[in-house]
Every structure is written in C-alpha cells, then in structure tokens.
Structure 1
C-alpha cells in the first residue's frame, strides 16, 4: 500500500494513494458503519489492516475519493513519537567530512535527534528564520516503526516496520555545530536540527511489499536537487549500517514505538562541505527523490517581517 496524509496542517486525515486520487479512509469507514474503537484511523495502523484496506479500495465509491491535484499532502506521519537521526552513516558523507570525521566510519550506529514538530509535507514551504544563514539539506530514507519493538534481532527487524518514506533532514549548521559559552562541552546539535519545518517528508508511507528492492540496496537511489542542480546522488550501498542493523541496535537501548521515524543517513553532497559552501537561500527549490518512493519539493522562503506592533516584543 501507498498511504498518505492529506488536509490542513495538524488536521490531516489518512488516505490510500490510488494514482491521481486518494481514498479518504475515515469517510469510507463511516459509510460502511465502522466507528468502533480499533478500526484503522491513522497511517500507522493501516498496514496491519490489509484485508480491511483492500476491501475499502475494492468497494470505494466516488464520494470516498479525493483528487490529489489541488489537495495538500501532509507528512505521512504528522505527529511522530520521536525522530531519530543516524549520524555519520554513509561512507561518502564521512569521506567528504574527513576534516572532522577523520574519514573513519563509527564502530557502532550513532544516533542524534530532532524535534517531532519539525515534520511538514512534501510540498510545504520551509521558512528560513531570521539569523539562519547556513541552512542545509540531506536526503534520507525514513523508516517508520509500526509496532513496539525491544531487543529485535536483525533477521526480524523489518517485521516491525510499518513502511518507508522520503525525508529531507534540514539543519542550521552554525547552530548545530556551534560552541557555546566558550567551551567545547556546550553545543546545540538538537536545536540546530529542530526549527519548525526542518523535516519535509513524503509523499507517501510505502509498505515494504511495495518495495522489494529494499532488500537490494544498490537498487535504491537517493538524490537531491537545489533548483536544477543535482547535489546528492547515491544509493543504499553507501550506508555504513543497514536498516535491520539500525533497528536492532536502537531497540537494545530503547523501546521503539509505533510512529517513530528513523532517518537512516544522507550521502555526500550537502551544502556545508562544498567548496565554497552552498547553503539554501530564500527562493531556492529543494527537491529529493528515492527510487520507488517519490520525493519532496520544498520552496525556501524568508520569515515574514514583523509588523510595527510586533517589533521589539520577540527575540
């Protein structure tokens, strides 16, 4: 299945993507008289209701269908429990950052995070806030957890996955890497990745039966364009730790929960390590694509100027 959220921000409804139309799951269920607790009303539960979902598609009426054109598509998981980022998890990115990384991959998966409120839809504008001068992009495979998972062996790790999607992990590099209080101990990597809008994702949550190539990493290509310039181009063989290894390792530390979003790592080509750096500017269009999943296309816009009455009231 290809599942998508649609509708206004923070008020999205779950849908099943059918070419150029969306099946409104809640409307279809209501028409069939399914109001009981436990019926699938969100994208996390839908992959576990395959027979119900297939029946909704088979018996869909025109009133259940919404045209994709003219409809806002939201992030597949509008309110993830947590967003976990796998840092330094592609060989090419480690190589381009050799001055910092030493060019040596980590021995174990390295996780950082960003606020769950950063997620936005695949075509939403991203606001560059005042003071942000080093806005960067990173295309990543997003893995959405579908069931609680603790101490999962690698050979069963994909069983806890609801589906996968495309993520653009955006950062303010200055804030992410800044040293505060004149001491190396004080840094803000979490805040540098947690501005509102810094996690465009979508357009769909794709269940693994739709993407058998996930088991063939060379077949999954990840790309980013800024305007018309190709900036990132690699595939999943670039990952230091693959998806099963990531899930298994994380689950030895914490219980992964339905709706958690794991971003698996980005290839070389980010703005920060280009010579000179090519950070995103208002007006830029950032596009990402992953084989079989589609992609995101987000316009960078400047923050609105405060009105006269607002000036001096905020920092």
Structure 2
C-alpha cells in the first residue's frame, strides 16, 4: 500500500494511492497516519482497502509528509563507501548516528528554506525507514524487519558550514527548518521485497548529481535498527534516514551549493519522486 497525507499544511488528510492512481480517503479508518496508527492500524486499513470501502478524494493539490508527528528522526552518516571516500572520511567501523529536529519534516514538494547566512546548503537523497513497532535492545538484526512499517524518500538537506565548521556538532547543520522533505508515499514493507536493492537518484536544475543503489550501504537496514536499539528506544512512527550515496556538493570540487531558485528532484525505485524549490 502507498500511504500519504494530502491537503494544506496543518490540515492534511490521510489517504491511500490505489493501483489505478486514484486517491482514497482514510479518514473513516484513522484520524491521521501517526505513530499510534502505524502501531495498530495497518491490518484494519488493508481490510478496508481490499473491501472497497474507501471513498475517493477529489481536487487535492498538496501532498504532505506521509507520517504525522514522528517522535524522532534518526540519521546515519557516511553509510555509503563512495560517499565517505568523496568527503575524505574514513570508512566507519560502526554506524555514525546523528539526529534531526522533528520539525524539519515537510512535504515532498514543499519549498526548502536556505538558512539565514548560509553559503553551503547541500542535498542528500536517502532511503527513509519508518517503524511500526518498538525496538529496544534487540538481540539480533533478524528481529528488525518485523518492526518496519514501510519506506519513503528523504532529502537530508544539510548546511555544511554549520555541520562541520561551527564546532563540529552535526545536528546544528541538519536541523534547520524544512531540512527533511519526506514522501510522497509511505510504501508499506510488504510492497518492497528487497529494500537493499533500490536505485536512488537526485538532480539539481536537471543535472544528475547522485545515482546510487541501497545495495552499497556499509551497514544494512536491519543492522542499523538493531544497532540503534542498543543506544536508544525506537518507537512506532520514528523515521530513520539511512545514508546517502556519492555526488553531494561537498564531495564535488567546483560544484555550487544550493541557491535560491534552484530545483532539486529526487526518486527511489518504487517509492515515487520529490521536487523542491530552494527559497
């Protein structure tokens, strides 16, 4: 199933994208696609969808982030070997963890705001994992897959000066407002049989900048969930950004960072496409 939230900011309506391309209203099944629903409501939703009980939605223009009010956004740095190499970093022995403020999460086509004084706003196409179960001290990565609600596209927008040159605290360059466009869909895990073999691509003003595949992650998705659970409790609705392949502006000498008016487009196989304008 492809779950999404449509409508004006702050008044989004939960929906499902049917196989024929129509939007179906989930308001009769759930108030929102939020942590509580992801923990308990996916089976009821599937039954309603298969029974043909959901009404259509008409004339919807904006798509919001497919998850409302995630508890936290956890990110993994340098998780593709080619990205680590292009930045001059050593290949990590363990996953590098940082956090993004939850209010960075915006719709997939919403404007991205360049922070005041920024000169190094960068882009990163990433596979985002959304949880439906609690992960606490998992015994092994084998337990992780059953806790995944689904997958989405994330743009882990980053201000590199704030991240690397202003005291070395990554969160500072990752948590500016609008810095985590998410969606358009949350594609449920049953429709993504091999999340470790998905092509992911990003363009800036029509120029292909990133072209990678999730099979090249240093640490796979199940390992990341297991690893994170040793240091924090992951809850339903939490978002995990799993890293980006090579091609970011920071790793391309002579490449301009993002500027007002630039257009960034992202896609991941089977998960849809995003488009943001820098403002």
2:278 equivalent to 1:300 = yes
CA offsets 1:155-175 (integer angstroms, 9 cap, x no match) = 120111111100000011111
Residue pair 1:12, 1:78 contacting (<8 A) in 2 also: no
Which of 90, 96, 99 lines up with 2:86 in the alignment?
96
Residue 41 of structure 1 deviates from its aligned partner by: 4.2
2:71 is the counterpart of 1:81: yes
User: How do 1:92-241 and structure 2 match up within 5 A?
Assistant: 92-98=82-88, 101=89, 104-152=90-138, 153-179=140-166, 186-214=167-195, 217=196, 219-241=197-219
When the two structures are aligned, how many residues end up with a matched partner?
275
* Residue in structure 2 matched with residue 20 of structure 1 by the alignment: 21
Cα distance in 1, alignment partners of residues 261 and 73 from structure 2? 27
- 8 Å contact from structure 2 (residues 39, 133) kept in 1: no
The Cα offsets for residues 94-150 of structure 1, whole Å up to 9 and x where unpaired, read as: 11012xx1xx31111110111100011011111223311111000000001111111
Distance 2:144 2:44 in 1: 25
Question: Is the 2:129–2:150 Cα contact (8 Å) retained in structure 1?
Answer: yes
Runs of 4+ in 1 over 3 A off after TM superposition: 46-51
Map of 2:8 onto structure 1: 8
- 1:278 and 2:256 are equivalent in the alignment: yes
Q: How far apart are residue 49 of structure 1 and its match?
A: 3.5
**Displacement after TM superposition at 1:54 (Å):** 3.0
The whole-number CA distance in structure 2 between the counterparts of 1:59 and 1:269 is: 44
- Distance, in Å, in 2 between the alignment partners of 1:10 and 1:252 is 34
Please say which structure displays the higher CA radius of gyration: 1
Q: Structure 2: where are the runs of 5+ without partners? A: none
Alignment of 1:289 onto 2:267: yes
Counterparts in 2 of 1:40 and 1:283: CA distance versus 1, 3 Å: closer
Q: Which runs of 5+ in 1 are unaligned?
A: 30-38, 180-185, 302-315
- Does 1:244 pair with 2:222? yes
Cα distance, 1:48 vs structure 2: 4.5
Q: Distance in 2 between matches of 1:263 and 1:276?
A: 27
1:4–1:43 CA contact under 8 A, matched in 2: no
Relative to 1, partners in 2 of residues 1:51 and 1:187: Cα closer, same or farther, differing over 3 Å?
closer
Does residue 52 in structure 1 map to residue 44 in structure 2?
A: yes
